[in-house]
Amino acid sequence: MSTLRNDIARDLALPRTQNEYTELVRALLHQRCPLAPPKAFVHTYGCQGNVADSERIKGMLAEMGYEFTDAREDADFVLFNTCAVREHAEDRVFGNVGALKPLKSDKKDMIVALCGCMMQQPHVADRIRQSYPFVNLVFGTFAIHRFPELMYRVLRGGKRVFEIGETQEPVPEGLPVRRDSMFKAWLPIMYGCNNFCSYCVVPYVRGRERSRTPEAVLAEAKEIIAGGAKEITLLGQNVNSYGKNASDGVNFPKLLKMINDLPGDFHIRFMTSHPKDCTKELLDTMAACEKADRHLHLPFQSGNNRVLKAMNRGYTRESYLELIRYARKVMPDISITSDIIVGFPGETYDEFRDTVSLIEEVKFTSLFTFIYSPRVGTRAAAMEDPVPYAEKSRWFTELLKAQEKIAAARSADMVGKTYEVLVENETKEANGMLTGRTGGNINIDFAGDPALIGSYRRVRVTEAKNWLLFGELV
């Protein structure tokens, strides 16, 4: 027995490439289950960055021989790619992991794996280690490219594997990608964040900013275009600081222009832009790029200068408004969306009202609004936070009401006008209606043949019900 253990230990210590591990995993899985390919279930929480990571993990799983299922009870491998940005997201993950326990007792060979931002936090990994013994594999955001090796360690070593170390190595290239959509593609251009907004856990779980080279980004963009995608979304926590430390002089506006100049019939989006790094050069470039959709997601978080300072955001209400004015000057039809946090530690009601007055002034197309959630290790988590949650919830409702009014007026204004939309899916009600999304990121429902999904069509808005829009094909 101990010789076998020594053999395994020696085997696991051998230096191998990730491709070699992939082949070994494929062979082991075939041995385990020779009659049918094993099935994987992958669920992603959080932002598009996580979605893009999951597409790479699924690419690796496919190379290991996995097929995919939407039913976790049918799966031989279950993976949750997790999000740490707010407590609510974390609670859902713990709940869903707990719910796997009976499944795993019925199916001993099932591999349960957890990855992503939550797992990069040592206190979370410890909790999994202690309270969820049926979890086989835990890996953080820095180990994604080593997934084949980790799988081999689980299968061959037969022990639980935890891999949550941090590195500052360059971004690994050449991972296979299995994209969720045929017509819209996520394209990460950078990873990590250097901003340390005082409420945010991302810099702790994603590390410092690392940009992909322009060559790598362009190569992937070409691959996406050749694959027939109609929309490419460039991703980064702060795309505006793309290439900041690179010697080739390619900053984000230049990269955007390079992608815009690639031949093909496609649109470009990007997110997220940080106001402190959003330059007039970027807005001018966007205006000059005919493939860039007229949508700017520019999170302002708070409309009050004291709160912005405490958040470590690096801009003021006035400089934010100046950016919006400039964006609208060079792109009159631009649609602007934002993120807001209500109830940051120490925020007063009057300070919160500055956020409401800012949304009334800017008239955003839509907002992603959050009640502040303390995150372990961040500076804000140590700040005095005297306002009770129930009070913050009332402010939150007040904000939503103000935005509803703005959105209703905007919707009413769209009636009678025609927009180009990317037809995305059938509506949930499955009543012969499709949903299309405008360049400004507004959904319009209309009757149409599902064969239109994945194409651009012109739709005239016929009716607005609050923020819901209905239209007809032109």
The residues binding ligand 5AD (CB under 6 A) are: 85-86, 199-200, 299, 301, 339, 341, 370, 372-373, 375
Q: Min. distance of Cβ 197 from ligand SF4 in angstroms? A: 3
Q: Min. distance of Cβ 445 from ligand SF4 in angstroms? A: 32
Strands 433-438 and 418-426: antiparallel
Q: Min. distance of Cβ 86 from ligand 5AD in angstroms? A: 5
**Other CB atoms within 10 A of residue 260 CB:** 16
Name which of 78, 56, 53, 83 is nearest 68 in CA terms.
78
The helix, strand and coil proportions of the chain, stated in percent and rounded to the nearest 5, come to 40, 20, 35
Quote the tokens at residue 177: 């990608």
196 binds, among ligand SF4, ligand 5AD, none (CB under 5 to 8 A by kind): ligand SF4
396 binds, among ligand 5AD, ligand SF4, none (CB under 5 to 8 A by kind): none
Query: Rounded to an integer, what distance in angstroms lies between the CA atom of residue 9 and that of residue 158?
Result: 11
51 binds, among ligand SF4, ligand 5AD, none (CB under 5 to 8 A by kind): none
In this complex, which beta carbon is closest to ligand 5AD, that of residue 112 or of residue 358? 358
In this complex, which beta carbon is closest to ligand 5AD, that of residue 9 or of residue 382? 382
Name which of 271, 220, 217, 210 is nearest 245 in CA terms.
210
Q: Min. distance of Cβ 403 from ligand SF4 in angstroms? A: 20
Name which of 180, 216, 162, 208 is nearest 56 in CA terms.
180
In this complex, which beta carbon is closest to ligand SF4, that of residue 203 or of residue 345? 203
8 Å CB contact between 470 and 446? yes
373 binds, among ligand 5AD, ligand SF4, none (CB under 5 to 8 A by kind): ligand 5AD
Dihedral in degrees, nearest 10, Cα atoms 276, 278, 280, 286: -170
Q: Min. distance of Cβ 370 from ligand 5AD in angstroms? A: 4
Name which of 306, 309, 338 is nearest 321 in CA terms.
338
Quote the tokens at residue 394: 């009332």
| Cis peptide bond N-terminal to 272, omega within 30 | yes
Positions touching ligand SF4 (CB under 6 A) are 193, 195-197, 200, 202-203, 237-238, 274
In this complex, which beta carbon is closest to ligand 5AD, that of residue 152 or of residue 199? 199
In this complex, which beta carbon is closest to ligand SF4, that of residue 121 or of residue 195? 195
Taking only Cα atoms into account, the Rg of the chain, rounded to an integer number of angstroms, comes to 24
Element (H, E) at 469: strand 468-473
In this complex, which beta carbon is closest to ligand 5AD, that of residue 266 or of residue 372? 372
In this complex, which beta carbon is closest to ligand SF4, that of residue 117 or of residue 150? 117
Contacts of residue 102, defined as CB under 8 A and 6 or more positions apart, other chains included, come to: none
Q: Min. distance of Cβ 237 from ligand SF4 in angstroms? A: 4
Q: Min. distance of Cβ 378 from ligand 5AD in angstroms? A: 7
179 binds, among ligand SF4, ligand 5AD, none (CB under 5 to 8 A by kind): none
Query: Rounded to an integer, what distance in angstroms lies between the CA atom of residue 68 and that of residue 241?
Result: 36
Q: Min. distance of Cβ 90 from ligand SF4 in angstroms? A: 16
In this complex, which beta carbon is closest to ligand 5AD, that of residue 380 or of residue 423? 380
341 binds, among ligand 5AD, ligand SF4, none (CB under 5 to 8 A by kind): ligand 5AD
Count the residues in the chain.
474
Name which of 294, 296, 241 is nearest 267 in CA terms.
294
In this complex, which beta carbon is closest to ligand SF4, that of residue 193 or of residue 358? 193
How many Å is the maximal CA-CA distance in the chain?
78
Q: Min. distance of Cβ 52 from ligand SF4 in angstroms? A: 15
In this complex, which beta carbon is closest to ligand SF4, that of residue 104 or of residue 269? 269
Query: Rounded to an integer, what distance in angstroms lies between the CA atom of residue 35 and that of residue 3?
Result: 31
372 binds, among ligand SF4, ligand 5AD, none (CB under 5 to 8 A by kind): ligand 5AD
DSSP 144: G
274 binds, among ligand SF4, ligand 5AD, none (CB under 5 to 8 A by kind): ligand SF4
349 binds, among ligand 5AD, ligand SF4, none (CB under 5 to 8 A by kind): none
DSSP 196: -
Q: Min. distance of Cβ 348 from ligand SF4 in angstroms? A: 22
